Structure 1
Amino acid sequence: MTSPNANLATLLAGSAVRFPRRPAVRLDDAVLDYADLEEMSARAARLLHGAGVRAGDRVGLMLPNTPAFAVLYYGILRAGAVVVPMNPLLKAREVEYYLADSEASLLLAEAATAQEAVKGALAAGTPCIEVPAEGMGRLLVAGEPLPGVVSREPSDTAVILYTSGTTGRPKGAELTHANLRANTDTTRRTLLESTEQDVVFGGLPLFHTFGQLVGLNCAVAAGACLTLLPRFTPARALEIIERDRVTVFVGVPTMYATLLAAPERENHDVGSLRICVSGGAALPVEVLRDFEKAFGCVILEGYGLSETSPVACFNHPGRPRRPGTIGTPIDGVEMRVIDRDGTDLPDGEPGEVAVRGHNVMKGYWRRPDATAEAVVDGWLRTGDIGVKDPDGHFRIVDRKKEMIIRGGFNVYPREIEEVLYEHPAVAEAAVIGVPHPTHGEEVVAVVALKPGAEAEPEGLKEFVRTQVAAYKYPRQVWIVDALPKGPTGKILKREIKPPAGKRA
């Protein structure tokens, strides 16, 4: 008996059969219905085959939130290849690393912002196809659509999402077709409860796991419409909610805070909102309560990681909510709080959060040692410090890792520190996150200079800004005589204090 095709792209194929003329993806006046999206993704798959891409090959996808992202995302999957989503703000050195590490066969990048992508692809020896910002149909017009969807097994890798801790370079989390299908199905059914009648707000970056699964994949699985916003501003978001009658809002805490504070908020009809979901960072309870009162819509807060496809735990609809918590594990997923030895801790005692279930990644791409360290007996050790309450709700209280979350984007200190160490005047560097009223955390670099060397904070800031994506570079640089260290010489970030005249 032949097993059914597990390819994630069959979600689109199924909705195209059921809802061919319902809108699938929208960007202002540009709308693709499900039949259009299906045909264009099939033409994209043909384009990839013509470029030599075969099943299992990795393909970089470096696009903003436009209909082209959805077309090419499902086109890559349809061809049996693996999507490597990349932030279009990445600089050439970052592009080179992602392509070289994943051994990508091809990069697809938006032509309007392709300068850094082209340089990085050239350095990695990876062919690059520039995708026009408008009129993508011209790129796909040649040749017939690729018939059918290339068959993939549940355990085959569908997407590689690059993530990192505080040491080493970014690692690619391999998410399988089974991981993503199960997480999409569970999230759509039990959290969003979405149908083809829904309109989903697409303001989260689709290259990021949260926007990609909870936004794009869940919308496509339901036959709903995903209305896109390439660059979030509260004014444009409110216009889109009213114009498109958005029913499902997917966002990070900074979005909710800025929408709440928007002076034009009361001028817009937001009564279509049915449910809001929040993740990516802790949502202040005050923001949650004020938003729900102002917008008349419940926010469900949850938790996940790239390594968990991403959804692991949520406040569920129809159940008592606990503001300030991340809720309870989703169907098919277990969570524990453990000590260093992997022993369960009593309720109320903080320890490392561990996750097991259909959502846990296959492993880190070609990093067996890192995989063995992260996944022990099937349990993913998240690096986050949490507490389980007696009623089964979980709270995240700290991060074992030193990752900074700025406006919902992950910033890894080690990556920024490595750039700073390339500056000829820098002797020591540490990158930390400090509280910020709207971004959640702000990136701060603390630097000690070499004897006799001179450098100004603005110059160091500009040096980093040219090397990394715009959301990563430090907005503040503190120059100090020396960084605090422990007995072994390790820099003690927890003991770093702002210099006189600076604020944390």
Structure 2
Amino acid sequence: MQLSVATILKESAARHPDRTAVVDGAVRVSYRQLWLDVLRFAARLRDRGVRPGDRVAVLLPNTADFPRAYYAVLAAGATVVPVHALLVADEVAHVLRHSGCRAVVTAGPLEAVAREAADATGADVLHVTTDGEPLERPEPRDADDTAVILYTSGTTGRPKGALLTHANLVMNATVCAQDLFHLTPDDVVLGCLPLFHSFGQSCAMNAALRAGSALVLSARFTGPGALQLMAEEDVTVFMGVPTMYHALTETAEHGGARPGGLRMAVSGGAALSTALLERFEAAFDTVVLEGYGLTETSPAALFNQLATGRRPGTVGHPIWGVEAAVADPGAEDRIVLLAPGQVGEVVLRGHNVFAGYLDDPAATAAAVVDGWFRTGDLGVHDTDGYLSIVDRKKDLIIRGGFNVYPREVEETLARHPSVAQVSVLGLPDETRGEEICAAVVLRPGATDTPESLVTWARAHLGKHKYPRVVRLLGALPLGPSGKVLKRELREVCA
């Protein structure tokens, strides 16, 4: 069966040609114009040698050029590799090299990093251009072809490329737009989530354009700025991570502008506390739908839904076409489902589950067992079918909605000449959800300070990854096997 993510924009341009598709500052781009821009840039990609099945990286901020580049790569029949905008050049180079990207599309302040990474890998550097003759028609693709490769951190310290198919993404956008958020061409969605991230890309951009809604872009989020933009553009649907909810609520409670027509807010990326949810709903007189998903699940998997009911403190029920269950976390090679009320590993199956990790069959086999995707998160179902996420099987840190794995940070800090031992963990943080803390044992004679180690880490890790907190210890608490006792360490570092 043929299916392309590019069809999302193509069909909306045919049905709603004169409606606004994207708002980028003072610029308003209609669906007709956006699709024409996409076809023109797709033709430019073809002229530069991009062919069906090739991979093209996109390293762009939240501007109208992101959807132009994203859909143009897909219309040309190639695969999009969105790159995290907070990565340093070495990290970007790894993504380009591992995915085999032949080009990277970039602009603005991100171009310097993109060029340094491209120089190290031989990739071309391209800018979005919207002149010239358009591609006659988008390249047809099979539903099971890879549309997007999203890199997600792994426990080995290097990110893995999750292969998302055209079917994965079209279905996720359709279910989000129609079943979860009930988007219409009259809706205005605030796209302040980074579009390189699966939440912003699928739930905000793809879902909004699938419904013919207007997508209002914001390159940099602040509470006052977002509230002002929401009021000016009559935003009806807000999507964000808990950090953003905190900033918006604080601003609103101190007299900030409030949008009059906000009918719904969508939360994901990390757990939203019930207290903050209630504060936000009271401040904005609206309803918050909290959901759950991962990069590997396209991402939406479960949601508090208007149709099936909401229960604060849970992530609701599975979305249409998806199954969720709780399994015995100790059964590594098979799935043993548990009864409601029992805590176990959350497992998922359905149209949203990815096709595997790029060039990593072992990781794929470990992640997908008996047709179920093992999330690595621990949860429990209540008797009404609501799922609560109670803990993480892995030591994942979620800072401001971004996933950070301690192992990667530890391996980087371990390269510092003064560091003898290091263990990284997340500490509770009211603003970011969690803050990254590094517990460090220095080598004998070293005189480094916590501040100097933070400065060094900032230069070697992405902006979302480096620890803002460093604790210097005489020794790490270790168990009999030599494993760091994270619970005791957390008490020491708190």
On whether the aligned pair clears a TM of 0.5, the verdict is yes
3-state secondary structure, aligned to 1:472: coil
What amino acid sits opposite 2:352 in the alignment? N
Match in the other structure for 1:156: 145
Change (3 A) 1:263 1:190: closer
| 2:426 counterpart of 1:433 | yes
3-state secondary structure, aligned to 2:105: strand
Alpha-carbon shift at residue 43 of structure 1 (Å)? 1.1
Match in the other structure for 2:487: 494
Match in the other structure for 2:83: 86
Please give the per-residue CA displacement for 1:372-417, whole angstroms capped at 9, x wherever unaligned.
0000121000000000111000000001111111111111212211
| 2:106 counterpart of 1:144 | no
| 2:437 counterpart of 1:444 | yes
| 2:384 counterpart of 1:376 | no
Alpha-carbon shift at residue 89 of structure 1 (Å)? 2.3
Alpha-carbon shift at residue 429 of structure 1 (Å)? 1.1
Alpha-carbon shift at residue 168 of structure 1 (Å)? 3.7
Instruction: Report the more deviating stretch, 416-425 or 165-174.
Output: 165-174
Alpha-carbon shift at residue 28 of structure 1 (Å)? 1.7
Q: For residues 63-102 of structure 1, what are the structure 2 equivalents within 5 Å?
A: 63-102=60-99
Q: Give me the whole-angstrom Cα distance separating, in 2, the residues matched to 1:112 and 1:405.
A: 26
Q: For residues 466-477 of structure 1, what are the structure 2 equivalents within 5 Å?
A: 466-477=459-470
Instruction: Report the more deviating stretch, 486-495 or 187-196.
Output: 486-495
Asked whether the 8 Å contact 2:425–2:490 carries over to 1, the reply is: no
Match in the other structure for 2:115: 118
Match in the other structure for 2:167: 178
Number of matched pairs: 490
Alpha-carbon shift at residue 492 of structure 1 (Å)? 2.6
Residue 208 of structure 2, aligned match among 201, 215, 219: 219
Alpha-carbon shift at residue 263 of structure 1 (Å)? 5.5
3-state secondary structure, aligned to 2:114: helix
Match in the other structure for 1:284: 273
Match in the other structure for 1:314: 303
Match in the other structure for 2:409: 416
Residue 45 of structure 2, aligned match among 45, 48, 62: 48
Please give the per-residue CA displacement for 1:332-382, whole angstroms capped at 9, x wherever unaligned.
100110112221112111110000000000000111000000001210000
Match in the other structure for 2:395: 402
Alpha-carbon shift at residue 485 of structure 1 (Å)? 2.1
Residue 458 of structure 1, aligned match among 434, 441, 451: 451
Q: Give me the whole-angstrom Cα distance separating, in 1, the residues matched to 2:9 and 2:470.
A: 47
Alpha-carbon shift at residue 264 of structure 1 (Å)? 7.0
Alpha-carbon shift at residue 292 of structure 1 (Å)? 0.9
What amino acid sits opposite 2:193 in the alignment? L
Asked whether the 8 Å contact 2:168–2:353 carries over to 1, the reply is: yes
Please give the per-residue CA displacement for 1:246-277, whole angstroms capped at 9, x wherever unaligned.
11111111111111111576452422111111
Asked whether the 8 Å contact 1:249–1:277 carries over to 2, the reply is: yes
Q: Give me the whole-angstrom Cα distance separating, in 2, the residues matched to 1:385 and 1:16.
A: 42
Please give the per-residue CA displacement for 1:42-83, whole angstroms capped at 9, x wherever unaligned.
111111111111111111101110000010000011011111
Gaps of 5+ in 1: none
Asked whether the 8 Å contact 1:165–1:403 carries over to 2, the reply is: no
What amino acid sits opposite 1:176 in the alignment? T
3-state secondary structure, aligned to 2:346: strand
What amino acid sits opposite 1:82 in the alignment? T
Alpha-carbon shift at residue 305 of structure 1 (Å)? 0.2
Residue 200 of structure 1, aligned match among 176, 184, 189: 189
| 2:180 counterpart of 1:191 | yes
Residue 105 of structure 1, aligned match among 102, 107, 110: 102
Asked whether the 8 Å contact 2:157–2:411 carries over to 1, the reply is: no
Asked whether the 8 Å contact 1:238–1:265 carries over to 2, the reply is: no
3-state secondary structure, aligned to 1:361: coil
What amino acid sits opposite 2:194 in the alignment? P
Asked whether the 8 Å contact 1:271–1:296 carries over to 2, the reply is: no
Match in the other structure for 2:312: 323
Q: Give me the whole-angstrom Cα distance separating, in 2, the residues matched to 1:379 and 1:265.
A: 46
Residue 244 of structure 1, aligned match among 204, 211, 233: 233
| 2:7 counterpart of 1:10 | yes
Alpha-carbon shift at residue 111 of structure 1 (Å)? 3.4
What amino acid sits opposite 1:277 in the alignment? V
Gaps of 5+ in 2: none
3-state secondary structure, aligned to 1:114: helix
Change (3 A) 1:152 1:46: same
3-state secondary structure, aligned to 1:363: coil
Asked whether the 8 Å contact 1:85–1:207 carries over to 2, the reply is: yes
Alpha-carbon shift at residue 190 of structure 1 (Å)? 0.9
Asked whether the 8 Å contact 2:230–2:259 carries over to 1, the reply is: yes
Alpha-carbon shift at residue 484 of structure 1 (Å)? 2.0
Change (3 A) 1:480 1:309: same
Structure 1 stretches of 4+ with a deviation exceeding 3 A read 263-267
| 2:474 counterpart of 1:481 | yes
Asked whether the 8 Å contact 1:235–1:264 carries over to 2, the reply is: no
TM-score (norm 1): 0.95
Asked whether the 8 Å contact 1:91–1:117 carries over to 2, the reply is: no
